């Protein structure tokens, strides 16, 4: 798991007037809206004596008030009031908690969990079509019981569709399914990579979708990443009709992940007119369908061993169609080399002992060292390793 990337925290629609506790990267955060409606994300551990700020309440001055002794923290993480010292005494400098940069986009509140200054931060995966009249969007969220890197690798995997998602068309019975598939590089970027491929496509069976591709033929699809936890999948049913799916994944810890699935479609919706009333119904159908497809992945992924990516690549047998999996892991190695990988062994030991809580460092840590909590332990930065060559098939 890595600091210094944007993590989805909560759907905008699910964040109301009360603070909420969210666990990401095996750390607790409190998310709330200040008096102007802007979301704020802070470390959840009160700097006084460790109460959970999310059990407190939002105050009219835009602060969150600790449930234990009433200290108030503003969106910048600064303590603005300590009731026990009286209103005339200013809180000391260390009376603060980490506060993370926030962006609300695509109906999701994202927090930058790291300490990089703004100009050095990796971006949120751009979704150019979002909010344009041609496209309709929905966001669903669900939890899975496996590591987010396993989940992203599953989403990238071009060779699993015919077997895991037999409802997509062919039933995984053709002898020559993937041998001809060429992965064309697409949307490579400093923080990730992508590919498109041409697949054989049977006529769509679902009566609503049949309109989109009435005859069999070829279709284009592909996936790619930005950072360790943002992923896109384009499914071009035909030249005109597409679904673009974006997965923003938040590792709760090493064994659980919260997935935010943003679905953009230029099909299955009505623009204006009386029939626009059907759009809500179609949104529901699309979300149900996406959950059904996800459940096919989850069934297989729940039983993959080991639960975490093995440290040695020799402990799996990669084929050319697995190239994208290795590309993803190469990117993770780059992030590790930058010193952004959380040292899970050290964190696990400390959490098991139970007498220390860490914080993911926020950007303000670069300005002052007056903090109560220590920074989470990280794997030391180093020179990036050479990418490892693919094993030839056969
Ligand atoms: S623990 Fe938060 S105010 Fe005392
Ligand atoms: Fe899948």
- Please give the DSSP secondary-structure letter assigned to residue 341: B
Ligand nearest to the CA of 83: 1
Range from 28-42, 114-128, 178-192, 235-249 carrying the lowest mean pLDDT: 178-192
% of the chain beyond a pLDDT of 70: 91
Give the pLDDT confidence score for residue 60 in this predicted structure.
96
Q: Which residues of 45-69 are buried (b: 16+ CB within 10 A; e: fewer)?
A: bbbbeebbbbebebbeebbbbbeee
The residue among 208, 252, 210 whose CA lies nearest residue 229 is: 252
pLDDT tens-digit map of 355-386: 999 999 999 999 999 999 999 999 999 986 55
pLDDT at 339 over 60: yes
The whole-angstrom distance between residue 239's C-alpha and the CA centroid of its chain comes to 29
- The pLDDT of residue 248 is 98
Lowest mean pLDDT among 109-118, 273-282, 325-334: 273-282
Q: According to the model, what pLDDT value does residue 123 have?
A: 97
Hey, what CATH class is 136-324 in? alpha beta
Q: Which ligand is nearest to the CA of 301?
A: 2
For domain 5-120, the CATH class is mainly beta
Ligand 1 atom at minimal distance to the Cα of residue 51: 1
> How many angstroms is it from 27 CA to the middle of ligand 2?
28
CA distances from 222 to 148, 219, 279 (A): 19, 10, 27
Eight-class DSSP state of 170? S
Q: Is the pLDDT of residue 392 over 80?
A: no
- pLDDT per residue as tens digits for the range 180-198: 578 899 999 999 999 998 8
Ligand 1 pocket mutation pick from 66, 84, 92 by most atoms within 8 angstroms of CB: 66
Distance CA 267, CA 270 (A): 9
Residue 73: CB within 6 Å of ligand 1? no
Tens of pLDDT, residues 3-51: 999 999 999 999 998 999 999 999 999 999 999 999 999 999 999 999 9
Q: Where in the chain is the domain with CATH 3.90.380.10?
A: 136-324
Residue-by-residue DSSP string for 237-304: SSSS-EEEEEEEEEESSSS-EEEEEEEEESSS---SSGGGGHHHHHHHHHHHHHHHHHHHHHHHHTT-
Give the residues across from 77 on adjacent strands.
none
CA 147/CA 256 separation, integer angstroms: 6
Q: Which pLDDT does position 394 carry in this prediction? A: 37
Q: 393 pLDDT exceeds 50?
A: no
Q: How far, in Å, from the CA of 48 to the mean position of ligand 1?
A: 5
Residues 51-71: pLDDT tens digits? 999 999 999 999 999 999 999
pTM score, two decimals? Answer: 0.94
User: Does any ligand 1 atom lie closer than 6 A to the CB of residue 46?
Assistant: yes
pLDDT at 101: 98
Contact 162, 285 (CB under 8 A): no
8 A C-beta contact, residue 20 and residue 42: no
Distance separating alpha carbons of residues 149 and 325, to the nearest angstrom: 10
Query: Which residues share a beta bridge with 58?
Result: 64
Distance, CA of 196 to CA of 188 (rounded, Å): 11
Confirm or reject: Cβ of 48 under 6 Å from ligand 1.
yes
Which of 53, 55, 64, 71 maximizes ligand 1 atoms within 8 Å of its Cβ, making it the mutation to test the pocket?
A: 71
Q: Whose CA is nearest to atom 3 of ligand 1?
A: 69
**CB neighbours of residue 134 within 10 Å:** 10
Nearest Cα neighbor of 245 from 138, 123, 110, 104 is: 138
Average pLDDT, the chain: 91
In the chain, CATH 2.102.10.10 sits at 5-120
Q: Which-ligand-closest: CA of 47?
A: 1
Which of 54, 10, 1, 3 lies closest to 362 in space, CA to CA?
A: 3
By the CB criterion, residues less than 5 angstroms from ion ligand 2 are 297
Tokens read off for 129: 């079509």
- Decide: 252 and 242 in contact? Cβ < 8 Å: no
Given ligand 1 and candidates 28, 30, 43, 48, which is best to mutate, with the most ligand atoms within 8 Å of its CB? 48
Please report, for residues 104, 184, 248, 253, the alpha-carbon distance to residue 344 in angstroms, rounded to integers and kept in the order given: 29, 35, 22, 10
């Amino acid at each position: 798991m890595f600091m210094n990337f944007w993590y989805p925290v909560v759907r905008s629609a699910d964040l109301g007037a009360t603070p909420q506790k969210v666990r990401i990267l095996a750390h607790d955060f409190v998310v709330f809206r200040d008096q102007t409606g802007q979301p704020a994300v802070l470390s959840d551990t009160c700097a006084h004596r460790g109460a959970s700020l999310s059990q407190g309440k939002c105050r009219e001055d835009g602060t969150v008030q600790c449930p234990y002794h009433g200290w108030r923290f503003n969106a910048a993480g600064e303590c603005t009031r300590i009731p026990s010292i009286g209103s005339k005494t200013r809180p000391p400098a260390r009376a603060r908690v980490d506060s993370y940069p926030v962006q609300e986009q695509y109906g999701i509140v994202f927090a930058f969990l790291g300490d990089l200054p703004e100009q050095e931060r990796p971006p949120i995966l751009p979704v150019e079509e979002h909010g344009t009249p041609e496209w309709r969007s929905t966001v669903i969220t669900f939890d899975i019981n496996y590591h987010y890197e396993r989940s992203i690798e599953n989403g990238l995997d071009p060779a699993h569709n015919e077997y895991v998602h037999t409802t997509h068309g062919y039933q995984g019975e053709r002898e020559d399914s993937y041998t001809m598939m060429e992965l064309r590089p697409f949307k490579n970027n400093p923080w990730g990579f992508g590919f498109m491929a041409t697949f054989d496509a049977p006529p769509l069976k679902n009566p609503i979708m049949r309109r989109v591709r009435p005859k069999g033929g070829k279709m284009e699809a592909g996936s790619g990443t930005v950072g360790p936890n943002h992923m896109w999948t384009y499914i071009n049913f035909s030249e005109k009709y597409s679904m673009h799916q974006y997965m923003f994944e938040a590792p709760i810890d090493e064994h659980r992940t919260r997935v935010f699935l943003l679905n953009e479609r230029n099909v299955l919706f009505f623009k204006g007119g009386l029939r626009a009333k059907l759009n809500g119904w179609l949104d529901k159908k699309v979300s149900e369908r996406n959950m059904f497809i996800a459940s096919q992945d989850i069934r297989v992924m729940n039983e993959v061993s080991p639960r975490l990516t093995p440290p040695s690549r020799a402990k799996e047998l990669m084929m050319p169609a697995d190239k994208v999996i290795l590309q993803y892991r190469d990117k993770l190695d780059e992030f590790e080399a930058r010193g952004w990988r959380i040292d899970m062994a050290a964190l696990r030991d400390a959490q098991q002992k139970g007498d220390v809580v860490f914080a993911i460092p926020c950007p303000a840590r670069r300005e002052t060292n007056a903090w109560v909590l220590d920074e989470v332990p990280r794997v030391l930065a180093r020179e990036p390793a050479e990418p490892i060559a693919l094993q030839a098939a056969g």
